[in-house]
Amino acid sequence: MMIVMAPHATAEQIESVLDHVKSEGFSPHRSDGKEQTGIGVVGIIDRDVDPRQFEVLDGVAKVVRLSSPFKLASRQFKEEDTVVDVGKGVKIGGPDVVLMAGPCTIENREMVEAIAPIVAAAGAKIMRGGAFKPRTSPYSFQGMGEEGLKILRAAADRHDLLIVSEVMDRSQIEMMLKYVDILQVGARNMQNFDLLKDLGKVKRPILLKRGIAATVQELLLAAEYIMAGGNRQVVLCERGIRTYETATRNTLDIAAIPVIKSISHLPIVADPSHSTGMRHLVAPVARAAVAAGADGLIVEVHNQPEKALCDGAQSLLPGQIQELAREIAGIAKTIGRRFHPPV
């Protein structure tokens, strides 16, 4: 960490900062420039220290972190990309762009059985579907729970698909491990630290969605919670953040994808459904995310979206997911990656 003194800082203020650094148990390294003095704080791990404790001292202009506040999730710690092995040869973070698709929520057996072949036909390897739904209103459909997961597992198995489904509470983890291949942490739960800590103890990949008001750094610190517990199989998800823009449900932060790629080794996928909120916007945004380097997509699809219990407006129609899959294959090839939709 580097403390940069203001150009007009007095000799007393500089001395006082040096004393403060020493009194905190660190050794200060002073370097006097032409206009400003810099004080390197040596002997601390940046991630454990709040820079504001130095920033508020008299005569300090700013404090600059020299290493990231997260460690296990950072590229400084691990240079090569993490590839998350979900099973059945499906790997997220390698050369393949991975498509996950399915309904927002598991509604009943009939609809899940109707959607599974559509998902498989588009070349998706992983089927999504929530059994526990974090709904804004307590009066909205809350999900089928374990019964829904049984339905999803059976349909997915019939089509050789893996499953991703949201865990809302730590009490659900053990039961869900019987059915799901990836445990999803939803945007609303990104900073549910007790949940993250418990997910650190499981040996199953985690799909960690960015919170609607979370910075990239906060997302990576949330991933750090899971990794610090011992589970290194974390896939990040950019699902849009809340901004002043109302034309879309959320604002997909496309730049977050290359930003995260540069500072973290973890794979990242994009969710063009929850970020846009409307069917006609999903494919263009999905294409952009893949072009920006996303390792995969998680997309909502429905056989009868007009009757969907949840998020019908943003669910792709069967033909649309097929078309999107073809487009992704083209983009993947252009940028030196692979996506093979069935012909």
Closer to Mn ion by Cβ: residue 198 or 271 = 271
Tokens found for residue 319: 């033909």
Closer to ligand PEP by Cβ: residue 187 or 290 = 187
Q: x-or-dash pattern for ligand PEP, window 223-262, by CB under 6 A?
A: ----------------x-----------------------
> How many Å apart are CA 94 and CA 337, to the nearest integer?
9
Q: x-or-dash pattern for ligand PEP, window 167-206, by CB under 6 A?
A: -------------------xxx------------------
166 binds ligand PEP (CB under 6 A): yes
Match 């390294």 to its residue by tokens.
29
User: Could you give the count of Cα atoms lying within 13 Å of 85 in the half-sphere of its Cβ?
Assistant: 4
Site for Mn ion in 101-160 (CB under 5 A): 104
> How many Å apart are CA 158 and CA 117, to the nearest integer?
9
20, 57 in Cβ contact below 8 A?
yes
98 binds ligand PEP (CB under 6 A): no
Which one-letter DSSP state was computed for residue 315?
P
Q: Closest separation between CB of residue 240 and ligand PEP, Å? A: 8
215, 192 in Cβ contact below 8 A?
no
209 binds ligand PEP (CB under 6 A): yes
104 binds ligand PEP (CB under 6 A): yes
For 24, other C-beta atoms within 10 Å of its C-beta total 14
302 binds ligand PEP (CB under 6 A): no
Site for Mn ion in 263-292 (CB under 5 A): none
For 133, residues 6+ apart whose C-beta sits below 8 A from its C-beta are 104, 105, 140, 141, 142, 143, 166, 310
Site for Mn ion in 310-329 (CB under 5 A): 311
Helix axes 318-334, 279-291, angle to 10 degrees: 20
Which one-letter DSSP state was computed for residue 311?
-
SS3 183: strand
Q: x-or-dash pattern for Mn ion, window 45-84, by CB under 5 A?
A: ----------------------------------------
- Interface residues with ligand PEP (CB under 6 A)? 104, 130, 134, 166, 186-188, 209, 239, 271, 274
- Interface residues with Mn ion (CB under 5 A)? 104, 311
